Structure 1
Amino acid sequence: MSTSFENYQKRKLISSYFSVVLSIALVLFLLGILALLVLNTKKMADRSKEQITISIFLKENAKEIEVEQLQKTLAMSDYTKSAVYVSKEEAAKQHSEDIGEDFVDYLGYNPLKNSIDVNLKADFVTAEKVTEIAETLSEKSYVEEVSYDKVLVGMVAKSVEKISFWILTASAIFTLIAVLLINSSIRLSIYSKRFVIKTMQMVGATKSFIRRPFIWQNIKLGMLGALLALIAIGGVLYYVNTNFQDLGLLDEPYIIISLLVGVFVLGILISLTSTYFATQRFLNLRTDELYY
C-alpha cells in the first residue's frame, strides 16, 4: 500500500514539475518570438526608409570640382547612407530601358540633368529632417533642384510610428501575461506542499531555510524551460533564415545572442521571484487558512 502511495506521489510530483517546465518553455518561446518580431520590424522599417532617394539635379554650368566636393561632403555627412553621382547619359540610358525605347533619338537631345542620388540613414527619414536637408542643398548656386517624394516620406514615418507603438504595447501585454502564467504554475506546484512548509515552520525552521530548496528547485525548472524555449527559437531562426534570407536575421549575431541570453536569464528571474513570493504567502498563512 505504501509503495503504491509513494508511486502516486512521485507521479504527481513529476506531473507538477512537467507542467511548470512546459509553461515556462511555452511562455518564453512566445516572448522570444515577439522580441524577434520587434527587432526585425525595426530593421525592415529602416530598410524601407533607406530606400527613399533624394535626387539633387545639377545645373549645366556646374563645375566638376564643385560636383566632386558636393559628393564628398554628402558622403561624409551623418545623415547619408549613400551618395551616387548619375550623369545625364546614364540617366537617359536607364530611362530608355525603363520605357522600352530611346527617347533621346526621338527628341534629338537629352533633356535630363546630371544628378546625385542620396539615400538617407533611417533615423533622418522624417518629414522635418528631409525638408531641412533638401532646403540646405537647394541653397547651393550650382544646384538646380532637389527632388524627393514628400508624400512617401510622410507615409513611411507615420506607418513606422504606428507599427512600433502597437508592437511595443503588445510586447508589454504579453510580458505581463507571461509573468502571470509562470507565477500561477509555480504557485500551484508549491500549493501542494503548503502543509510541508507549515510543518517545517512549526518545528523551528527559518523562512530562508524553508524557501531555499523551493527556490533552487524552481530555478532549475526555469533553466530547463528556458533551454527548451531556446531550442525552439533556434529552430524558428534556422527555418526563417533558410527560407527568407532577405530578412537578414543573422546579419547582427550579437543581437541574436543577447536575445537568447535575455530569454534564459528571464526564465531564471521569473522562476526565482515567483517562488519567493509564493512560498512567502504560505509562510505567512495561519494553519487553519491552509485548507482554503
Structure 2
Amino acid sequence: MAQFGKGSSKRSKASYIYSIIGVSLILFLLGVMGWIFLNFRQVGNSFKEDIRISAYLRTMNKDTIAQIQQFIATKPYAKKVEYIDKEKAKALWNKDGNEDWDKILDYNPLPESIDFYANADYLDKDSLQKINNQLLGTYPDQISDITYPQTLVNTVNEKTKTFGVAFLVVAIILCIIVIVIIDNTIRLAMFSNRFLIKTMQMVGATRQFITKPMDIRAVINGLISSGIAILLLFLLIQWAENWIPQLKAIHDLQLNLMLFGGMLVIGVGISLISTHRSVVKYLKLKLDDLY
C-alpha cells in the first residue's frame, strides 16, 4: 500500500503543481481587488480628514483660548488642533488665493479661531451638528460660530458612499466567482486521482484512511498557494507605493495584515473543503461511473 501510494503520488504531482499555480493566481487577483477596495476607503477617509473646521472666538483671553483648545484636543473626533491668530488667519486667507485687503483696510478684519480636523467617522451631517452644539453649548460666550464647508462635506460623503457600495457589490460578485473557480480548479486536480481513491477503497482502506492524507495535502497546498499569492501581492504593494508615494501616507499595516490573513483562510479553507468533497464523491461512485 505504501509503495502504491508513493507511485501514485509521483503520478499526481503534476496535477497538484498546476492546482497550486492556478489557485495562487486566483488568490492574487482576489487580493488585488481587496487591496484596491481598502485603499479606496483609505483615500476617502484621508480626503475627509483634510476638511478644516473652524471655531471662531469672541474672547481674546489667552488662558481661556488655551482652555478651549485643550477641551477640543481631548475629544475623540478632533485631530491637529491649532490656535489661529489674526496673522495666521491672514496667511491662510492669502494662501487660498483670496484678494489681499492691505491696500483698502489698515486693520485685519479676520477673527481668531481654533481650527481642527475631524476623524473620518465624524465627517457627516449629524456628527458635525453634535460637535457644533457641544462647543457652542460649552462655551457660548467664548465661541461665536463653528464653520466648515458643508457642501463639500455632503458631496464627499455622497460620492464616497455611492462608489463604496458599487465597489463592494462588484467585490462580492468577484469573490464568489473566485471561490467557484478555485473550487473547480481543485476538483479538476482531484479528478486525476479518482482511480487511486477507488483502488484504495477496493483493497479495504477505510474512508478516514483515504481522506486524511488527502486533506493534509489540501491544507499544505492551500498554504503554499496562499503564501505565493501573499508574496506577489506584497511585492505589488511595495512597487505601487514606490511608484506612487501618496500611497505610503495612507498605508495601514493592520488592514494589510487582515487582507493577507483573509487570503490565507480562503486559500486553505476552499482547498480543504473542495478536496474533501471530491474524495467523498469518488468514494461513493461505482467503479464504472469513474470512466
TM-score range, shorter chain: 0.7 to 0.9
Aligned to 2:179: 179
Report if aligned partners of 1:56, 1:146 keep a CA contact under 8 Å in 2: yes
C-alpha distance in 2 between matches for 1:142 and 1:217? 70
Report if aligned partners of 1:22, 1:225 keep a CA contact under 8 Å in 2: yes
C-alpha distance in 2 between matches for 1:206 and 1:97? 79
Aligned to 1:108: 106
Aligned to 2:132: 134
2:247 corresponds to 1:247: yes
Cα distance, 1:254 vs structure 2 = 4.0
Aligned to 2:35: 36
C-alpha distance in 2 between matches for 1:158 and 1:99? 27
User: CA 1:99/1:150 → structure 2, altered by over 3 Å: closer, same or farther?
Assistant: closer
Cα distance, 1:11 vs structure 2 = 9.5
User: CA 1:85/1:203 → structure 2, altered by over 3 Å: closer, same or farther?
Assistant: same
Cα distance, 1:218 vs structure 2 = 3.0
Report if aligned partners of 2:42, 2:250 keep a CA contact under 8 Å in 1: no
**Partner AA of 2:161 in structure 1:** E
Deviation by residue 1:144-192 (Cα, 9 ceiling, x = unmatched):
2221111111122222222332333233222222221111111112222
What is the TM-score of this pair, normalised by structure 2?
Answer: 0.87
Aligned to 2:146: 146
User: CA 1:260/1:250 → structure 2, altered by over 3 Å: closer, same or farther?
Assistant: farther
Figure out how many residues of one structure are paired with residues of the other and give that number: 282
What is the SS of the residue equivalent to 1:248? Answer: helix
C-alpha distance in 2 between matches for 1:131 and 1:250? 27
C-alpha distance in 2 between matches for 1:127 and 1:164? 18
C-alpha distance in 2 between matches for 1:263 and 1:37? 14
Cα distance, 1:245 vs structure 2 = 2.1
Which of 77, 87, 90 is matched with 2:88 structurally? 90
Report the RMSD for the aligned CA atoms in angstroms.
2.4
Cα distance, 1:101 vs structure 2 = 6.5
2:46 corresponds to 1:47: yes
Aligned to 1:69: 67
What is the SS of the residue equivalent to 1:237? Answer: helix
User: CA 1:157/1:250 → structure 2, altered by over 3 Å: closer, same or farther?
Assistant: closer
Aligned to 1:269: 269
How much identity, in percent, do the aligned residues show?
30
Report if aligned partners of 1:241, 1:250 keep a CA contact under 8 Å in 2: no
**Partner AA of 2:27 in structure 1:** L
Aligned to 1:26: 25
Q: Which runs of 5+ in 1 are unaligned?
A: 1-8
C-alpha distance in 2 between matches for 1:254 and 1:150? 32
Cα distance, 1:222 vs structure 2 = 2.4
C-alpha distance in 1 between matches for 2:52 and 2:103? 28
C-alpha distance in 2 between matches for 1:189 and 1:161? 42
**Partner AA of 2:220 in structure 1:** K
User: Once structures 1 and 2 are overlaid, which stretch shifts more, 203-212 or 134-143?
Assistant: 134-143
C-alpha distance in 2 between matches for 1:54 and 1:176? 42
Aligned to 2:256: 256
C-alpha distance in 1 between matches for 2:240 and 2:101? 44
Cα distance, 1:236 vs structure 2 = 0.3
Aligned to 1:5: none
Report if aligned partners of 1:250, 1:256 keep a CA contact under 8 Å in 2: no
**Partner AA of 2:288 in structure 1:** D
The correspondence of residues 201-216 of structure 1 with structure 2, limited to 5 A, is 201-216=201-216
Q: Which runs of 5+ in 2 are unaligned?
A: 1-7
What is the TM-score of this pair, normalised by structure 1?
Answer: 0.87
Aligned to 1:6: none
C-alpha distance in 2 between matches for 1:74 and 1:11? 68
C-alpha distance in 2 between matches for 1:144 and 1:132? 16
User: Once structures 1 and 2 are overlaid, which stretch shifts more, 202-211 or 94-103?
Assistant: 94-103
Cα distance, 1:98 vs structure 2 = 4.6
Cα distance, 1:24 vs structure 2 = 0.6
User: CA 1:29/1:111 → structure 2, altered by over 3 Å: closer, same or farther?
Assistant: same
What is the SS of the residue equivalent to 2:102? Answer: helix
User: CA 1:236/1:222 → structure 2, altered by over 3 Å: closer, same or farther?
Assistant: same
Cα distance, 1:250 vs structure 2 = 8.1
